Amino acid sequence: MQDPKSIVITGGSSGIGAALALRYAGPDRFLALSGRDRQRLDDVAAQCRAAGAEVDTRVLDVCDRDALEAWLGEVDDHHPLDLVIANAGVSAGTGAFGEDALQTRHILSVNVDGVVSTVLAAVALMRPRGRGQVAIVSSLAAFRGFPGAPAYCASKAAVRVWGEALRGMVAGDGLSVSVICPGYVKSRMTAVNEFPMPFLMEAERAAAIIERGLAAGKARIVFPRRLFAVVWLLALLPPAWTDPLLRRLPEKSATPK
């Protein structure tokens, strides 16, 4: 969507979410930002207001569907939503102890249920007006499962495929859906990684790529291209060839971020 005026970003207190908020901040822009950390959220909001934007913040967990839907409804009542970016997510890995049931369910709950709740609420508000754009933040990890982060990969694959299918379903209602698949982006989430991250990108650069892709209404915003080519090839090759290689990759920290 070209020049959205009312924008919601979940997970807007750090990483890609914060970078997107600052990217969109400016005069005649309303930003509604959610996050789980009040101090970080307030810091981002202050920077956005300094750039001329009107900002509403809400500390909430996207897994709390009632609170999420109530907040989006309140925002829409005063600033009809143009763009909703379902960005909130967590990451964790197997570490030295494997991926236990509690960790797996937490990742799937936030990264799948939280995204689905955000998008469904946004679509319900936009559909009567016959316009609006929804963006789902997935990952390049959505194209091939990696032993170091099985639940994370599964969660990002789920929302990628769901978003791509949803795009066709709501197109007749005048709505647009874009799926965003970044590689490694500097953030609190990647800061715990103790292994090389190829083509690691600054969050500000990632936000610029995403903004351009959303303005063009792209169905899939994938970057960096070279890393996507590698992941795509891994997904195409037989598992018997790739599993031995992937099992040798470094493990990610087991602490959710």
Q: Hey, which residues are catalytic here?
A: 152
Q: d(Cα 62, Cα 80) in Å, to the nearest integer?
A: 20
**Taking each helix axis from N to C terminus, what angle separates 15-24 and 203-215, rounded to the nearest 10 degrees?**
60
Q: How far is CA 77 from each of CA 80, 126, 149, rounded to the nearest angstrom? A: 6, 11, 39
Q: Which alpha helices (DSSP H) does 171-250 contain, by range?
A: 188-191, 203-215, 225-236, 239-246
CB neighbourhood size of 8 (10 A):
31
DSSP state of 142: G
